[in-house]
Amino acid sequence: MEHVSEEDLELYCLGRATNEQLAPIEEHLLECPECLGRAEELLATIDTLRAALWRLEWEERHGRIPPGGGSSSPEP
């Protein structure tokens, strides 16, 4: 079984995969626990980075730490 490439997995997790890329990636993730685990780790990393970026932007705009310490970004 050929695994999803790191580049394709990153595009998928960032929501930037093309329509042509989506189906094969999603089908593979349903069948491959290894790639699914890689995707879950990557999504967790992306969430952490987005929360950190949100906090930095908030601090820059307001000049202080967000209420609650800014441990997570607000719901969209």
Please name which of 37, 25, 28 lies closest in space to residue 1, comparing C-alpha atoms. 28
According to the model, what pLDDT value does residue 62 have? Answer: 82
According to the model, what pLDDT value does residue 71 have? Answer: 57
**Long-range contacts of 50-55, Cβ-Cβ distance < 8 Å, separation of 24 or more:** none
Provide the H-helix boundaries in the chain. 6-13, 19-31, 33-62
Separation between Cα atoms, residue 15 and residue 3, nearest integer Å: 19
Give the model confidence (pLDDT) of 4-63 as tens digits.
999 999 999 999 999 999 999 999 999 999 999 999 999 999 999 999 998 888 888 887
- Any idea where the domains of the chain sit in the sequence? 6-61
Question: Is pTM, for the whole model, over 0.95?
Answer: no
